[in-house]
Amino acid sequence: SVERTSRPVTNEEGQVLGIVYYERPVVSGDSEAVRKINAFYEREEQEWFDGYGRNTLYNEDRYAYFLEAVEIMRERYGDEVLSKDPTRYTINTRIMFLDEKYLSVVQISNWYTEHNSYYYFGSTFDLNTGELLPITDIVDISPGDMKKIIADATYEQYYGDLSDEYVITYYGKETDMRYEYFYDGTFIYIIDNSGEYWMDGIVIRWNKKEKSTLMKYKIDWENERIISTQ
């Protein structure tokens, strides 16, 4: 299941000026694997509200910076205007795949102040051990394959500086691209948060049998749920 922790930013009159929440996957059961997975997301939720961690691309004080941006916008536009179109610091979550072996989850981070950005995060777990699974445990894929998949979807001739160990550096952080994906039982979805193609992150769908496809994942804000299109 998915549980939401919400901490909206309000003014003295109770008007919501900032929508702030984290949606946390919760696995039922009492095994060691279940405890590991739940602890993983509990830690990430705390990091999100502390303004640090994977879901902020390891930018420090991200939440504090968001709150400062809200105050600047209050001075610039006023609470009445802001309450009609609140800022956002959110993580939306969807369970993409679950069977007796795997749990795969996609999460979308949205930062909306005077700029609007989306970044994507995937986690795929071995339900027997509770450990994160690299993409190489799901499908046979080399660093060269990964470069080509991303290049085919984005019409780029070359993808960054992906090493032979699947590592790329962006935002000053070394990222192991073997863990930048999610899985729906048929397709692999490779995530690139480098901003090389768009200012936002991107998601690329691939199943080895056809050309990779650039996917668009956004939030349907009326229903506050993840939606996707090609």
Query: pLDDT of the chain along its 230 residues, tens only?
Result: 999 999 999 999 999 999 999 999 999 999 999 999 999 999 999 999 999 999 998 888 999 999 999 999 999 999 999 999 999 999 999 999 999 999 999 999 999 999 898 999 999 999 999 999 999 999 999 998 888 888 888 776 545 577 888 988 776 778 899 999 999 999 999 998 877 666 688 899 998 777 788 888 888 888 888 887 76
Report the b/e string of 170-182 with b at 16+ CB within 10 A: eeeeebebbbbbb
CA-derived radius of gyration, the chain: 18
pTM above 0.85, yes or no: yes
Q: What is the dihedral of CA 91, 97, 99, 101, to 10 degrees?
A: -80
Angle in degrees, 0-180, between the axes of helices 32-50 and 62-77, rounded to the nearest 10: 40
Q: What does the DSSP assignment read for 104-122?
A: EEEEEEEEESSSEEEEEEE
The strand pairing partners of 209, in sequence order, are: none
SS (H, E, C) 119-183: EEEEEEEECCCCCECCHHHCCCCCHHHHHHHHHHHHCCCCCCCCCCCCEEEECCEEEEHHHCEEE
Phi and psi angles of residue 162, each rounded to the nearest 5 degrees, phi first: -70, 125
Cα 150 to Cα 36, 71, 139, 212, 213: the distances in Å are 32, 39, 16, 8, 9
Q: How far is 143 from 155, CA to CA, in rounded Å?
A: 18
Which residue, among 111, 108, 86, has the nearest Cα to 15 in the 3D structure? Answer: 86
Q: What is the dihedral of CA 153, 200, 92, 48, to 10 degrees?
A: 130
CB atoms within 10 A of CB 44: 19
Which residue, among 19, 37, 20, has the nearest Cα to 28 in the 3D structure? Answer: 37
